[in-house]
Amino acid sequence: MFKKKTVFVIGAGASVPYGFPTGEELIRRIVANEVTPPEPDGSDRQDPRPHLRRHAYAEFAKSLRESAAPSIDDFLKDRPDYLDCGKILLATALAQAEIHDRLYATIEEHWLRYLWSSWIKARPDQLANHNLAFIIFNYDRCLEHYFTQAVSRSYNIHENNAWAAVLQLSIVHPHGSLGVYDPAGRAATKQSRPFAPPANFFDVSMAAESIKLFWEQEEDHARSVSFSLARAFAGAECVVFLGFGYLKSNMEIIAHFIKEEQARRDLAIYGTAYRLSRNDRSRAIRYLGRSATLADVTALELLRNTVPLDELAPEA
């Protein structure tokens, strides 16, 4: 069990081992017209955005390519007229990568397996005893699905009950996700989706609606996220960044909470800086402080060789 409150901050690089694209790869695929949303079938349920057609995606790709924008989020901030189109393409590319079997393939950098099996695994009624929080800046639900399946298969309980147990761990998606995670794929709740590629255009559109770009968040959503982040960071003694790019827009969301905890106690900070530029590393240090340990390693390597997990979870 984690005896010292530990917060894991998860970025896009942490999902790459499971078949998800980096931000740069996502742009490349979209501008090359390699991302193809399903065709609506013409019904109201399947076609909530009738203005979206093939030519709209091609126009989006051309404008994105010639804009030289550093990310799709930044591009859409300046081109809100493309918001629906951009979210549909984002949701399509990422939801298509939510493939169950990929999480159980032979993966050299399987940090989820290492973290769960070596340090977190516990009976469903004991998960609440972990002092853990996960701040996930990705839209995918890899962590939710992997942990839920692990609990379900280890203790022979229904997936819905396993998911309820996993929810005892604090999990926050500041930018939304590809839909409310539905482990059994039977929930009738709007925007609930299983961990699986989209079945049709309606499924993609529901995933797109759950995405909240950093600049468009409504007041209610922003207030809810702020409250959840405050609870997640409260009492933290260690913060671990995995696959994180330390972008200014993301750091500004969490920097306030980190500084509050640093003012109260010694806060150990560890983070991957895999292939990070000098400027990006300097920006991270400005936000986190010079005592932060940033290593040019993968998420798995950081957990194995840098983060003192044996001190954080002495009973593991």
Between 19 and 215, the higher pLDDT residue: 19
Structural domain includes residue 197 = no
- The yes-or-no verdict on residue 187 having pLDDT over 80 is no
Neighbour tally for 224: CB within 10 Å = 13
Structural domain includes residue 207 = no
Domain boundary among 38, 67, 95: 95
**Residues making up the chain, counted from first to last:** 316
> What's the pLDDT score for residue 55?
80
Structural domain includes residue 191 = no
Quick one: what percent of the chain has pLDDT higher than 90? 73
For residue 135, give the 3-state DSSP assignment. strand
- The yes-or-no verdict on residue 44 having pLDDT over 50 is no
- The yes-or-no verdict on residue 112 having pLDDT over 90 is yes
Structural domain includes residue 202 = no
Tokens 């039977």 found at: 186
**Position 20, amino acid:** F
- The yes-or-no verdict on residue 95 having pLDDT over 70 is yes
- The yes-or-no verdict on residue 49 having pLDDT over 60 is no
Sorting pLDDT into bands at 50, 70 and 90, what band is 128?
A: confident
155 and 221: one domain? yes
Structural domain includes residue 119 = yes
- The yes-or-no verdict on residue 52 having pLDDT over 80 is no
> What's the pLDDT score for residue 220?
75
58 and 123: one domain? no
Domain boundary among 95, 121, 147: 95
What's the structural domain count of the chain?
Answer: 2
Q: What is the mean pLDDT of the chain?
A: 90
Neighbour tally for 38: CB within 10 Å = 18
284 and 169: one domain? yes
Cβ pair 8, 132 in contact under 8 A: yes
Cross-strand partners of 10: 136, 242
Structural domain includes residue 201 = no
85 and 131: one domain? no
Domain that holds residue 252: 6-19+104-176+212-312
Residues 6+ apart with CB under 8 A from 1: 122, 126, 129, 130, 131, 313, 315, 316
Which pairs from 24-33 meet CB under 8 Å and 24+ separation? 26/72, 26/90, 26/93, 26/94, 27/64, 27/71, 27/72, 29/93, 30/60, 30/61, 30/64, 30/72, 30/89, 30/93, 31/61, 31/62, 31/64, 31/65, 32/61, 33/57, 33/58, 33/61
Structural domain includes residue 306 = yes
37 and 84: one domain? yes
Cβ pair 97, 17 in contact under 8 A: no
> What's the pLDDT score for residue 71?
87
Q: Which of 68-82, 131-145, 293-307 has the lowest mean pLDDT?
A: 68-82
Sorting pLDDT into bands at 50, 70 and 90, what band is 75?
A: very high
Angle at 192 between CA 187 and CA 195, to 5 degrees: 100
231 and 274: one domain? yes
Structural domain includes residue 188 = no
291 and 273: one domain? yes
Mean pLDDT of 216-231: 84
Between 3 and 296, the higher pLDDT residue: 296
54 and 36: one domain? yes
Tokens 């049709």 found at: 200
The two tokens of residue 53 are 């057609």
Quick one: what percent of the chain has pLDDT higher than 70? 92
Furthest CA-CA distance within the chain:
58
70 and 91: one domain? yes
165 and 298: one domain? yes
- The yes-or-no verdict on residue 121 having pLDDT over 80 is yes
Domain boundary among 71, 95, 119: 95
For residue 285, give the 3-state DSSP assignment. helix
Sorting pLDDT into bands at 50, 70 and 90, what band is 43?
A: low
Task: Give, in order, the Cα–Cα distances in Å from 256 to each of 49, 136, 259.
Answer: 38, 17, 5
**Position 218, amino acid:** E
Taken in order 223, 227, 233, 239, the sign of the CA dihedral is: negative
Sorting pLDDT into bands at 50, 70 and 90, what band is 217?
A: low
Rounded Cα distance, 281 and 295, in Å: 10
- The yes-or-no verdict on residue 53 having pLDDT over 70 is no
Mean pLDDT of 140-164: 96
> What's the pLDDT score for residue 270?
98
Neighbour tally for 46: CB within 10 Å = 15
> What's the pLDDT score for residue 184?
78
- The yes-or-no verdict on residue 51 having pLDDT over 60 is no
Specify the pairing of strand 170-172 against strand 132-136. Answer: parallel
> What's the pLDDT score for residue 19?
95
Task: Give, in order, the Cα–Cα distances in Å from 138 to each of 14, 37, 151, 172, 266.
Answer: 9, 20, 22, 10, 28
